Each structure stands twice: as structure tokens, then as C-alpha cells.
Chains A and B, each alone.
Chain A
């Protein structure tokens, strides 16, 4: 039996004006507004990039050199090549490094103190600001070789990508069912054989999606490139000279006073955004399919 202390509990009728109901409705509206507020900048950024980028888009932007200040036309062919080059160098450095480290963490030392420590350091590394990584690469490569270069840029991007690759590769390897390994080991395979012939092939699709996402992000990174790869107005001839990249070009031309350069900055942004969008959607689609 209800005691009088709980008099309010006796009315079961709904009243839309009670403070509790009102509070609930207000809070619900607030969360809806928050969600809308979060989506506005996304829509705004994407639509501006799409509209401004597409309106100045010509196929020749992919094949021509940047215009001299004040001139119209031109493109960013050299920067596109430069981006592929630096990202390629970064991949060569970071993918083997990261995947091997992940094999150790997921296959050989899983759930140990050592693995936990390295995972911790990996997470900390992924939090190091990209501009600091740029400064490190500047000291490590640019000062040592005496020149800005695609190698220096690639090195900086490699450090940047490393934690992502280690993490995605570790997760992919860990998600390979234990049965696979036990079956292989039960057949007398060594750990090397088990890993290389059974586990790695099973994890490869997931690793590739993770690596693709990391690459797409790296292609858009500007801060580590600024004073490592630097920039150039010419086509790449060697990996040991200053190299133009898309991200750097967008930065330079965004802050340039000339209309034709600003237009190229928008087109360049469109290319960078398309790159991340396509890889994100693609990788999501691959993950969904499996």
C-alpha cells in the first residue's frame, strides 16, 4: 500500500505540462538541434568544395604546371605526382614496419605487458601533433641531407601513418579466428609458417582497407609536408629535391591574392576530399561485404 509520502505517485495520468515531461521534451529537442548543428558544417564544407571546385574544374589541371602569379589557366599536375611520390615513399617505409610490428603484437606477444606498453606508446604517438612530426623530420632528414625533398616529406608522412597502420593491422590480425592458428599448428606448422601462410592472408583484406584509409588521410596532410618536401613549380625529377604536393599547393594558393590560383586551390581541395571520401566509402563497403 502506498504511504502518503509518495502522494505524487498515485496519479498515473499523463500531463504534458508537468515539469518532468516538459524537461524531457526540451532535452530531446536540444539533442536534435545538436545533431543538426554537427551536420551543418559537414554539408557546408562539402558543398562549397564541390561547387567551387567543380566550377573551375578542367581536365587539364591534372596535366599542367601551376600558373605563374597573375596568369590564368594551368594546373597541378606536378603536385599530384608529388603527392603520389611522397605518399608512396611513406608507404614503403611505414607499411612493412607497421605490419611486422603488428604481427608481433597480435601473434606472438598478445595480451602481455610488453604488448600493452607498445600499444600504449602507439596511441601516444598517434596523438603527437603532425607539425611536431614535421619538425622532427626536418631535423632528421632535411638538416642531414641539406635539402628539402620528397624523401623528407615521405619520412614525415611515414611517422604520421605508422600508429594507424600498427593499430589497424593489429586489430585485423586479432580478429582472425583462433581455430585457423590451432589448425595450422596442429598440422605441425611453425609460427612463421602459420603467420605467413594462414593468418596474414586471412587478415589482408582488413589490413588493406585500414592502410588505404591511412594513405588517403596522409595525402591530405599539410603540416608535416610544409618544411620537409617544401614545394616546387616544376615536375619532379628526383626524390632528393623540393617537391610540390597537393596539400601544400592548396595552402599556398588559398592564401595567394590571385583569383586563378584561388580557383586551383578549390579544385585541389575537391581532389583531396574526393580521395578521402572515395576511400572511406569504399572501405566501408568492403567491410560491410565481409
Chain B
């Protein structure tokens, strides 16, 4: 600390109390900062302990059986885990190519900046619309809109197991599509950031060697931005797996596994949304077990995403 004349002239008592205050303040903020990490631990711990009775009773068979009977107190979440994975997969299948396409569109110079900025903003807005609003829109607009398409798929391609059931309105494919809409802005935004971060010099070098725009994109820009894009996709996957309301409202919430994406199903999060409020006893514990699985799944995906994104941002 600098010792200016005015400071040495100050009463020492005051500077001492202010030093204590200073220390205390740093400690206080430190406690809260560490508290943020503690919250994460608390979630894992509390959900884990509440799941313990179900873990002890069902063990790993919880993951491999699909019977969910409140009356018999037998619970297995295979249907829901399957539903979570399948809907997320459909969502990625649609959102990844379109999202990267959007990102390329917005990172190249197709649009003048005055138009580009609002478009970027609009696409980010997609991420801000509450999920329950997507669900409402899904029920009254998307489901009726997709039904003829589902029927067409079933009548013409019903021999493929994927389309082997007649669509009844809600279903896994509707959930997948609505999820794809919801994660698209994440993929687009993060991919665009990583594409824009590729140094302009590299692009010029490729053009200077006589590469066309798309040769430059595919052979230089996309490889350089690759890890950032993958990180963004992982984040989006985590979001898709945890997304609750919109999925709950359009998936049909039936406890059955079918290879057909036109059939109804449920996900871990829709199970929690439907049953928690009225649950008791071992059912609560089983729901906590399901929540723990979802927590674990998204944790792995998010940590991977975080590591990939970090590695990437350090490199450029």
C-alpha cells in the first residue's frame, strides 16, 4: 500500500478498523462465491439422498425396466430415459445442420451489417420465449400441422419401424421437432461466435490461393471453428435433455416404448412434471432417482461442452 503523507497523518485507529472492514468484505464476497459452487453440490447431495430409498430398492434395474406402477410401488424409468435420448437425438438431427447453416449465413458477408444485427437479435429472441409458450403453440398449431405429415409417413413408410404406428396427435416426433426449434438459437449463436473468431487473415490466405468461398469455409474456416461448434452442440444437447414444459405438453406422456417416433412417449423431465405434485412415499424417491439420472446425464454433457469450449477459446 502506498504511504502518502496524508495517509500517515491519518489516525491509525481508523485505518485499522477500515482494514478489518476491508478484510471482512473480501471474506464475505469469497463466502458467496464459494457458495455458488456449494449450491451445485447441495443439489446433487439433496436429490441424491432423497433418491436413496429407490436406489436401494431398485438399483440398476430402475434403468432397464419400464414398469411404473404407483399401486404396486414398482418403478423403472427405461421408457423415460429412452424418450429423453430419442427426442434429444431428433432435435439435434434437425437443429445441427440448420443451426450451422444459420451461423454460416450470419458469419459471411451475405447481409449488410445493418440488416444482419437485427437478424442475429431475432434468432436470439427464439431462445428467450418461455418454454410453456412453445408448448401452447405446439398443442394448438404444431400438432394439427404435423398430423397429416405423420399420417402420410405412416401410410407410405409404415413398413419402416420408425414410422410403424398411426400418429394420434401428440408424439415423440412432435417433441423432437419442438425441441429442435428451442435449441436452434443456441447452436446458431455459439457456432457463429466461433466462426467469427477465426482470424480474417486465414480467410484471406485461402482466397489468396484461389479458393472459392465454400472451399475456404469447408477446408479452413469450419475446421478452425470446429471445437467451438462441437461445444455449442453439446450445450444444446444438455438443454434438450433437460427441457420440460414444451415436451410435456406435446409428447403424449404415455409409458410405452415403441421404435416408432410417431407414437406417444415420455421423457424423464415430463415424468417429473406430471407426477411430482401428487406423489408420496417411494414414488417421490423414485422421481428423485429419475431426477438424479437426468442431472447426471446433463452434467456429463455440460462439463464436456465446457471443457471443449474452454480449450477452444484458449487456443484462438
Measuring CB to CB, which residues of chain A are less than 8 angstroms from any residue of chain B? 9, 20-21, 23-24, 27-28, 30-35, 37-39, 41-42, 44-46, 48-49, 52, 97-98, 100-105, 107-109, 114-115, 117-118, 120-125, 127-136, 138-140, 143, 148, 159, 162-163, 166, 185-186, 188, 190-193, 195, 213, 216-217, 219-223, 226-227, 230, 247, 250-251, 254-255, 262, 265-266, 269, 272-273, 276-277, 280, 284
- Smallest distance from the beta carbon of B211 to chain A beta carbons, Å? 10
Contact with A along B1-22 (1 / 0, CB 8 A): 1101011000000000011011
CA gap between A255 and B246 in the complex, in Å? 12
* B-side contacts of A108, CB under 8 Å: 26, 29-30
Residue of B nearest to A195 (CB): B25
Which of A33, A101, A221 gathers most chain B CB within 10 Å?
A101
Stretch at the interface among B64-72, B117-125, B159-167: B117-125
Assess whether A39 is in contact with B123, with CB atoms less than 8 Å apart. Answer: yes
Task: Please report the C-alpha to C-alpha distance between residue A133 and residue B244 in the assembled complex, in whole angstroms.
Answer: 12
21 contacts between A and B (CB under 8 A): A35-B102, A39-B119, A44-B137, A52-B140, A102-B33, A104-B32, A104-B33, A127-B235, A127-B239, A127-B301, A129-B243, A129-B294, A131-B242, A135-B47, A143-B50, A159-B39, A162-B36, A191-B25, A230-B277, A269-B130, A273-B130
- Given that A247-B132, A265-B136 are contacting pairs, would A188 and B32 also be in contact in the complex, using a CB cutoff of 8 Å? no
* Chain B, interface residues (CB within 8 Å), range: 35 or more
Kindly state whether residue B55 has any CB partner on chain A within 8 Å.
Answer: no
Q: Which residue of A lies closest to B136 (CB)?
A: A254
Taken together as a complex, chains A and B put the C-alpha atoms of A191 and B22 apart, in Å, by: 6
Whether the pair A45, B26 counts as a contact (CB closer than 8 A) is no
Question: Smallest CB-CB separation from A108: which chain B residue?
Answer: B26
Q: How far is the CB of A33 from chain B (nearest CB, A)?
A: 7
Asked if A31 meets B105 with Cβ closer than 8 Å, knowing A121-B37, A122-B36, A191-B25, the reply is: yes
Chain B residues with Cβ below 8 Å from A31 are 101-102, 104-105, 108, 110
Determine the distance from Cα of A125 to Cα of B36 in the docked complex, in whole angstroms.
8
Report if B282 contacts A (CB, 8 A). no
Does B291 contact A135, Cβ atoms closer than 8 Å?
Answer: yes
Count of A-B contacts with CB under 8 A?
Answer: 281
* A220 proximity list for chain B (CB < 8 A): 129-133
A128 & B22 in contact (Cβ 8 Å cutoff): no
| A39→B288 CA distance, assembly (Å) | 38
Which chain B residues lie closer than 8 Å to A20 at the CB level? 212, 215
A-contacting 9-mer, from B199-207, B254-262, B268-276: B268-276
Taking beta carbons and an 8 Å cutoff, which residues of B are in contact with A?
A: 1-2, 4, 6-7, 18-19, 21-22, 25-26, 28-30, 32-37, 39-40, 42-43, 46-47, 50, 97-102, 104-106, 108, 110, 119, 121-126, 128-137, 139-141, 181, 184-185, 188, 210, 212-215, 217, 235, 238-239, 241-245, 249, 269, 272-273, 276-277, 287-288, 291, 294-295, 298-299, 301-303, 305-306, 310
Whether the Cβ atoms of B133 and A190 lie closer than 8 Å is no
Q: Report whether B98 and A266 are in contact in the complex, using a CB–CB cutoff of 8 Å.
A: no
- Contact in complex: A118, B37 (CB < 8 Å): yes
Contact call A188/B47, Cβ cutoff below 8 A: no
Q: SS class of chain B's interface: helix, strand, loop or mixed?
A: helix
* Interface-central residue, B4, B21, B129, by most chain A CB under 10 Å: B129
- The listed residue with most A CB atoms (<10 A of its CB), out of B28, B104, B214, is B214
Q: Told that A48-B137, A115-B33, A190-B18 touch, could you supply 9 new A-B pairs with CB distance under 8 A?
A: A34-B104, A35-B101, A44-B137, A45-B137, A48-B141, A104-B26, A104-B30, A132-B47, A190-B21
CA distance A133 to B272 in the complex (A): 11
Neighbouring B residues of A223 by C-beta, 8 Å = 131, 244-245, 269, 273
Flag if A38 contacts B272 (CB, 8 Å).
no
A residues in contact with B305, CB < 8 Å: 127
Q: Which residues of A contact B294 (CB under 8 A)?
A: 129, 131-132
Contacts of A132 in B (CB 8 A): 43, 47, 242, 272, 291, 294-295, 298
Q: Which residues of B contact A33 (CB under 8 A)?
A: 101
- The residue that B288 contacts in the complex, of A101, A139, A262, A272, with Cβ under 8 A, is A139
Name the one of B28, B130, B302 contacting A222, with C-beta atoms under 8 angstroms: B130
Chain A residues, Cβ within 8 Å of B37: 117-118, 121-122
Residues of B within 8 A of A192 (CB): 18, 21-22, 25-26
A212 to B2, CA, bound (A): 40
